[in-house]
A and B are shown apart, each in its own frame.
Chain A
């Protein structure tokens, strides 16, 4: 039977990173000229799979067959040549060049090296026409287009390269409903023309509208591939969560103090809107949401690393204008998501990294650092957090990721922070250190510290927090009690389900 003509088939794909099996024996097939959805929770392996298909990563083992040929692109440009194009969330366009230039980039029609502008224009015109997007001005600079138009330019660029498989990563994240409808029309049109689409999205609703088949990944493993018609939203969510065994989290601190931090209608034009909640002393408050929900930006805004347009932050009963230096004075410490770039100073010693925010306290009136005090301060943190380093003078660059993360936290403990904002504190570190950090969060909150935990890991949120703030598209979708909810409910809210429907 010729019923199953597959354009792409993956068999037993493995790919590991230090400490993580990102893909663990994934096999599935994609029928030609279909829309195939790929879903999974954060860390399920979707990004790794996209990167492998687009040629940005090479699998450790396993085989990919594309168009009946073994497919092993060494580089993204090789993948594009073979007919696999990828459109990432952050579009890959040249903002200061025209639409024509962008569509033809890398394949500019030329005569003896001289650009043939006429042909380039005709090609761009034709392809935009096919996409029903002739309204996009050919000579406009791409940077001046709307996001939805940029996306179409990106699609046009892929098509001009004879794309047979188009991978789209969260294409609707920045679009409004009208634009989404237009995009879906284009996707259906592409399918008619024989192009296969691999559609990666968090938005399950869209998948039911658009896709023929869906593949679910969880923890790097393939859970199932099935026609969309044979599955429900709840079943997909169940597949994505699985029945995870909860880690042994200690009981949460019961002695909560008074209000420490309050957000009132905090708004940052494009990232989050009207966010209000209140956090008490000794409480662990988690902020969660999907990628692009605004949770990380909200965290950054609290410390002054993201602009706030309106609303206010009340810290210890007083209005707080966010800024790292003022936060430090208010004993408010911040552990950023990107520890290498923002959390530690890689070329400085462990000692100096830990003492950095405390230098004023461990120096004399003339500004001379008292090195005995500095060493003592750093040594206490190295002992207390069990930071594995051969000496205090070791450069932080030479420590492992988990120990760097501990250094990034230690500096705030050393300076006596009473409020800690931790953004994805356990991302990319091994399980052992992960649980040490959990224990530490628990210990700190028991001692009365307030913890704001921005995290995508639902199990750690459930295990640690008293209060869970779920963001969806930049708005508070729900505020849940840490002991009165479950993984499924949180996930439903992150996917944008309304509060009424959930109960």
Chain B
């Protein structure tokens, strides 16, 4: 019967949409394991995870916002800006790293708070509001640094954050897992998480059920801002310097990781663990292409195609609505 056919096709599309990228991920790992000798070495695995750490931590914030049906394109810029401020405080003003780090994270949170207010109280579309914010932040970063690199011996004090090891394990990898475990628990076990999923599902019905929708949205943007601020610190630690463009390279990977991880663009559905897997997958793509000796000039094409495929799967899954 045609109707049954249709149902089973939908089912297949659903399974692929839900887990498709994991299948592709496994396939990619198998190919790399067979064609290269270095991929599965513990050294390379930790390299990949360390590269994934920063992206995956900011991606948690992006995920919260996208679960609510919004999107924040300013997180990478917020990372860069707060990283520059922290670095400058240490290098130019000899502020102790603890205080500089605190300021860095607070600036991120403040940027998120402003974004949240723009989206809820002023009621600007989330993409547009954060696009504006992105430009402001990039402009301020450029104006402050005058295009110069900020670097100094004081930065060695924060080197451990992104470059340290605990035994054989890179410290940022530990941070990454801690953040994911904490936010997994928050999203799945607490009232906060329940409200995030409810609002993403249907914000009008959630509001009528007595949930303070605007307050929750502002909170999500603010948390995302805090995470971006912290990641800015990590990135400064990793580079051992700060430049006006230090956040820019993250814009694309953050969004790709969250969307590839199956967070629906319309909100309400998706699992945090898939965002983590997708972040690692993304880094594996770059890592694998390098190991395979694929030209740098072609790499952009491939990562672009991955985003398109991820978006297509997302649409396939929700076409039924």
Contacts and interface: CB of A to CB of B under 8 A. Distances in A.
A198 B198 CA distance: 46
B209 A411 contact: yes
Size category of the A interface is: 20 to 34
Interface string B151-195: 000000000000000000000000000000000000001111011
Interface string A321-354: 0001101110000101000011111111000100
Given A347-B269, A348-B197, A367-B191, A356 B209 contact: yes
B211 A369 contact: no
Contacts of B212: 325
A348 B207 contact: no
Interface string B197-209: 1100110111111
B2 interface: no
A363 interface: yes
A342 B208 contact: yes
Given A345-B205, A356-B198, A369 B210 contact: no
A279 B186 CA distance: 42
A357 interface: yes
Contacts of B229: none
Nearest to A325: B210
Contacts of A327: 210
B191 A369 contact: yes
A359 B195 contact: yes
Contacts of A303: 208
Nearest to B264: A347
Contact of B201 (A347, A368, A369): A347
B264 to A, nearest CB: 10
Contacts of A345: 198, 201-202, 205-206
Contacts of B197: 348
Given A346-B201, A348-B201, A334 B208 contact: yes
B268 interface: yes
Interface string A224-246: 00000000000000000000000
B195 A341 contact: no
Contacts of A305: 208
A440 interface: no
A411 B210 CA distance: 11
A349 to B, nearest CB: 11
Contacts of A325: 210-212
Contacts of A336: 208
A360 B212 CA distance: 12
A325 B199 CA distance: 14
Contact of A357 (B189, B204, B209, B269): B209
Contacts of B209: 324, 328, 356-357, 411
Contact of A328 (B195, B202, B210): B210
A328 B201 CA distance: 20
Contacts of B208: 303, 305, 324, 334, 336, 342-343
B210 A342 contact: no
A367 B195 CA distance: 11
B165 to A, nearest CB: 33
User: Which among B194, B205, B210 has the greatest number of chain A C-beta atoms within 10 A?
Assistant: B210
A343 B192 contact: no
Interface string A18-59: 000000000000000000000000000000000000000000
A325 to B, nearest CB: 5
Contacts of A369: 189-191, 194
Given A324-B210, A325-B211, A327-B210, A342 B190 contact: no
Contacts of A411: 209
A185 B180 CA distance: 71
Contacts of B210: 324-325, 327-329, 357
Contacts of B206: 345, 356
A348 B206 CA distance: 11
B191 A342 contact: no
Contacts of B198: 345, 348, 352, 356
Contacts of B211: 325, 356
Considering residues A327, A334, A369, A411, which has the most beta carbons from chain B within 10 angstroms of its beta carbon? A369
Contact of A341 (B190, B202, B268, B269): B202
Given A324-B210, A325-B212, A328-B210, A343 B205 contact: yes
Given A346-B201, A348-B198, A348-B201, A324 B190 contact: no
A367 B219 CA distance: 15
Contact of A363 (B191, B202, B207, B269): B191
A346 B211 CA distance: 17
B167 to A, nearest CB: 31
Interface string B268-281: 11000000000000
A360 B208 CA distance: 16
A343 B204 CA distance: 9
Given A324-B210, A368-B189, A359 B194 contact: yes
A360 B190 CA distance: 10
B192 A367 contact: yes
Given A369-B190, A369-B191, A341 B204 contact: yes
A368 B207 CA distance: 21
A344 B191 CA distance: 18
A359 B195 CA distance: 9
Interface in B200-237: 201-202, 204-212
A336 B208 CA distance: 9
Nearest to A408: B205
B202 A360 contact: no
A345 B203 CA distance: 9
Interface in A352-391: 352, 356-357, 359-360, 363, 366-369
A137 to B, nearest CB: 33
Contact of A324 (B194, B207, B268, B269): B207
A348 B202 CA distance: 10
A363 B204 contact: no
A351 to B, nearest CB: 11
A295 B209 CA distance: 21
Contacts of B192: 367
Contacts of A367: 190-192
Contacts of A357: 209-210
A413 to B, nearest CB: 13
A300 B194 CA distance: 26
Nearest to A366: B190
A347 B318 CA distance: 12
A346 B202 contact: yes
B205 A352 contact: no
A336 B190 CA distance: 27
A370 B169 CA distance: 35
Contacts of A324: 207-210
Interface centre among A303, A324, A411 (most CB of B within 10 A): A324
Q: Which 7 A-B pairs have the closest CB atoms?
A: A328-B210, A367-B190, A345-B201, A359-B191, A325-B210, A356-B209, A367-B191
10 contacts: A325-B210, A336-B208, A341-B202, A342-B204, A347-B202, A347-B269, A356-B198, A369-B190, A369-B191, A369-B194
Interface of B: 189-192, 194-195, 197-198, 201-202, 204-212, 268-269
Given A345-B198, A346-B202, A363-B191, 12 more contacts: A305-B208, A325-B210, A341-B204, A342-B205, A343-B205, A343-B208, A345-B205, A347-B202, A348-B197, A359-B194, A363-B190, A368-B190
